[in-house]
Amino acid sequence: MNSTAAQIRERAGKVLAVHLAYRSRAEQRGRTPKFPSYFMKAASSLAGTGGTVERPAGTELLAFEGEIALIMGSTARRVTPEAGWDFVSHVTASNDLGLYDIKYADKGSNVRSKSGDGFTPIGPELLDARTIDPTQLRLRTWVNGEVVQDATTEELLFSFGQIVADLSQQMTLEPGDVILTGTPAGSSVIVPDDVVEVQVDDVASGASTGRLTTTVTAGTAGFAAFGNPIKVTDADRIDAFGTATAAGVERPVTGREALTDTVRAQLQEVATATISASLRKRGLNNVAIEGLTATKGTQKVIGVARTLRYVPNREDLFASHGGGYNTQKQAMDSLQPGEILVMEARGETGSATLGDILALRSQVLGAEAIITDGGVRDLSAVEALDIPLFHNGAHPAVLGRKHVPWSIDETIGCGGTTVQPGDVVVADSDGVLVIPPTLVAEVAAEAAEQERRDAFVFAHVKKGHQIEGLFPMNKEWLKKYHEWVDSGADVDSL
């Protein structure tokens, strides 16, 4: 360990780390936090430049994270964000290494996955905090000589002063404590013999930490049977590599997996028009189920598609498939919370595809909604139910006049587009959209960001600002927008 790192390790009572701090990383993960959150690393994980780090035997997901480290110079307790930077004495480069093979066992604490010996290289040179601009630092990471991360602190979601102040609310930050301030997009998996280098530069002065170098070696010892075993899922691989493509994960993502609480919340807050625009950017122009009426007006529903297909009535086929406990009733009986039943009726309005009893059954089972491009009987009774229905008009006739219930959970056509079981459906009175599960997280994140930008522009237009430069936003307005986002203020403050 070099002298700089040795001094830091000797003085460091705590090593604290921010989960998400850079916009690019937040966008990659599909969530943008309003406030910073943290975890702790063992001080014994600190190491210097030119050293090695072991990937434990039997593991595969050791990942690097190039970061800027703050070294506390004086005691901070309940300080303000404006004053937080004053308590920092130095800045240097760091590498927040983590082992995703054991991350599940930490239950979010990162104690074992992030605190291995040598898992926090730091240095080599310290930059005096008094001589640099914390908003104009550049962070770069190389793996085997290739640049894999390149970002500046202009991209930070939270200022260094805010991070110091936030942590100081609950604990006393002491001289020598180390704060790792998060990583931008580009973090990925490294393997034995890989060489990782991290460097921090002050853009204005040209001062640099120099390259912090760490070489990965293959460990001979793994995890013993008296503790948690290693366990790797596709989700772990995606997190470690950064993207599903980089992780080589080809297994289709199901709608239930894709529709996380974060994604659902993002979709709930954005207009269907914004979601549609995001889908069009990805070349998906035919993902709207068209021509339907909503029984619940503007109420938005979000769920995972189940499908039911009707074929044109043929008397012999209706005799064999239309009566008794047919596929229509089976579909209704099998619905679960979070699901939306989508029915293919070929746009036929001359017969009903369901009535109030089956709609009630769907509601009792917790289904989110029912969508049909055919008719509905007992419309007034169905409208009185809590479950939203999207339909193509009322008709008193039963199935046999135009339809034979035929198949469940197959790819269907409804309202002019294709729907597959497991697709994510977002619907309100403005439209019904079908989103492939593999795209829903990035579409939701992008739509949420666009909605926030639109709200910012709308508020300023309402105040009388001219359109030029504001819509779309030029560099000056973009700077104001990011300052507003960073402040955490709501639209009413504009």
Q: Which residues are annotated as a binding site?
A: 355-358, 377-378
Name the token pair of 172. 């006393």
Closest by CA position to 68, among listed 183, 211, 195, 190:
183
Taking alpha carbons only, the member of 424, 426, 328, 325 closest to residue 377 is 328
Annotated binding site for substrate: 355-358, 377
C-alpha span between 232 and 100 (Å, rounded):
7
Residues in the annotated binding site for Mg(2+):
378
